[in-house]
A and B are shown apart, each in its own frame.
Chain A
Amino acid sequence: MNFLIQAFAFIFDPKHYGTANGIEVRLGQHLLISFEVLVIAALIAIPVGYLIGHTGRGRAFAIGFSGGVRALPTLGFMILIALGVGIGLGAPIVALVVLAIPSILAGAYSGFEAVDRRTVDSARAMGMNELQIVAKVEVPLGLPLLIGGLRAASLQVIATATLADYVGGGGLGRFIFAGVQTQDYPQMLAGSILVIFLAIASEILFSIIQRLVVPAGVTAGRPKDVRVKSSRSRAALG
């Protein structure tokens, strides 16, 4: 437990703030990488997922892609890219985007699929065009599952962003890798604790959002647990 006390001492030591390698700087980097990755991955995965969900085509492709990414070791993939594009943020961002896409994709299309086909049918029969069906029926009703997908992706990305510093990407992983190099276990532990807190904070944040976005009126008719099961597979790399 001594180490644990030392780790917390490390976290609360004022010396570790206000410098270029300060905890708040690394924390900020970690959050920024994670946020950027989530935004990029969402911009790619949500439209594609919606397309799959609305048309019902390409589902096999999405499942295959997700399975492939699950087997792909992110560490190796990131390092390989880093050898190509050089050290820094580029390689971690590409690798993490690839990692994050399957969860968001699954959230997007399974959200559409969860909408009762009769509801869609009646919307069409009323005279909604395809775009209106997507915007007014499928998107709002599929939102809880999409947020579930984003939640899983966020957890994966925050966890795995720890590896970013291995190729010079900064973030909280810096304390872990610096600690490994200097055999400084309390520093490693401090970095680890910070990442764990961040991951849990993300879970809490998204569970609140998830509760907020359930369209009023469907709370009664829906199972409470709206996580995307299939995409929860590989959350915690890093």
Chain B
Amino acid sequence: MIEFRGVSKLFPDGTLAVDDFSLVIPSRKTTVFVGSSGSGKTTLLRMINRMVDTTSGTIEIDGQPTTALEAVALRRSIGYVMQNSGLLPHLRVVDNVATVPVLNGVPKKEAREAALVLLDTVGLDRSLAERYPSQLSGGQQQRVGVARGLAANPNILLMDEPFGAVDPIVRSELQVELIRLQRDLDKTIVFVTHDIDEAFLLGDQVVILEKGGVIAQVGSPTEILTAPANEFVATFIGAERGKRALSIQKTATGDILVDSEGRAAGVLVQQSEGVVR
């Protein structure tokens, strides 16, 4: 569990990125911060591993303030995946993945073997292990980024718009992959995006942020869709434009779902398993 208690961040240039922010992020769930630029979502994420220091307030992980550990040690215990992967260009894929364990003192050979297993986990062929990041596609680089984030077997994984820079087809592949991974690994994932569809797809808990880190609404996708807290949320999720208000229309070829403007939005099928979150 990660808990923000009255956290504020004032940058030296005078921007108040986050003001008196409080939130509980449950363990082993995916929490998504979603908002436009300037909403403070990346700042919030980076405060968890102290890449950004809070100006006031505290952040606790499992009851321990993040300041109890040295920043460097804290960061090693938390996985971090960023946009553009942030891989080290001069290290081979396998060494990139093994970086944190090696920093933690794991023998190099052992760390490399574990890294190969992680490549399997994120769905990358082991033949890519000896390549350099520049020789991979954007989607492959992001997978390596995820593998690296998992390398130290952290309980928490921070993901800062990790799929923001890849094309839509690859993005949806990666999103599906992340859902699968999360089912297997059961990490506490904190995910930042500006894409509401991505937020609803991935999030168990979605946090919609207004400018300056003000929480507009917290809840499951279902809660937010069925009961937008205010006009800002409604606009943000597209409910106002009727994009989310779907109705069934009978056609010659079968039933389809249409939005409020009558555009085809999907088809209705039987729910096979699980419950809507």
Question: Is B9 interfacial (CB 8 A cutoff)?
Answer: no
Closest CB in chain B relative to A203 CB, distance in Å: 26
List, in ascending order, chain B residues with CB within 8 A of A122's CB.
80, 82, 85-88
A126-142 interface code vs B (CB 8 A; 1 in, 0 out): 11110010001100110
List, in ascending order, chain A residues with CB within 8 A of B49's CB.
125
Question: Is A71 interfacial (CB 8 A cutoff)?
Answer: no
Of all chain B residues, which has the CB nearest A115?
B89
Contact: B88 with A119, CB < 8 Å? yes
Question: Is A184 interfacial (CB 8 A cutoff)?
Answer: no
A interface secondary structure, majority: helix
B72-110 interface code vs A (CB 8 A; 1 in, 0 out): 111111001010111111111000000110010000000
Q: How far is the CA of A141 from the CA of B132 in the complex (A)?
A: 14
Q: How far is the CA of A152 from the CA of B49 in the complex (A)?
A: 42
Contact: A118 with B82, CB < 8 Å? yes
Contact: A141 with B80, CB < 8 Å? no
Interface residues of A in 135-167 (CB under 8 A from B): 136-137, 140-141
Contact: A140 with B90, CB < 8 Å? yes
Whether A217 touches B91, Cβ cut-off 8 Å, given contacts A118-B86, A125-B82, A126-B103, is yes
Of all chain B residues, which has the CB nearest A218?
B89
Contact: B90 with A217, CB < 8 Å? yes
- Interface size class for chain B? 20 to 34
Q: How far is the CA of A124 from the CA of B103 in the complex (A)?
A: 12
List, in ascending order, chain B residues with CB within 8 A of A132's CB.
103
- Interface size class for chain A? 20 to 34
Q: How far is the CA of A113 from the CA of B153 in the complex (A)?
A: 32
Question: Is A1 interfacial (CB 8 A cutoff)?
Answer: no
Contact: B90 with A216, CB < 8 Å? yes
Contact: B89 with A119, CB < 8 Å? yes
Interface residues of B in 50-89 (CB under 8 A from A): 51, 72-77, 80, 82, 84-89
Interface-central residue, A122, A123, A124, by most chain B CB under 10 Å = A122
List, in ascending order, chain B residues with CB within 8 A of A137's CB.
88
Question: Is B134 interfacial (CB 8 A cutoff)?
Answer: yes
List, in ascending order, chain B residues with CB within 8 A of A216's CB.
90, 132
List, in ascending order, chain A residues with CB within 8 A of B77's CB.
127
Give me 23 A-to-B residue pairs in the complex whose CB atoms sit less than 8 angstroms apart, sorted by A's number.
A116-B89, A118-B82, A119-B88, A125-B51, A125-B82, A125-B158, A126-B75, A126-B80, A126-B103, A126-B148, A128-B103, A132-B103, A136-B88, A140-B90, A215-B89, A216-B90, A217-B91, A217-B133, A217-B134, A218-B90, A218-B132, A220-B135, A221-B89
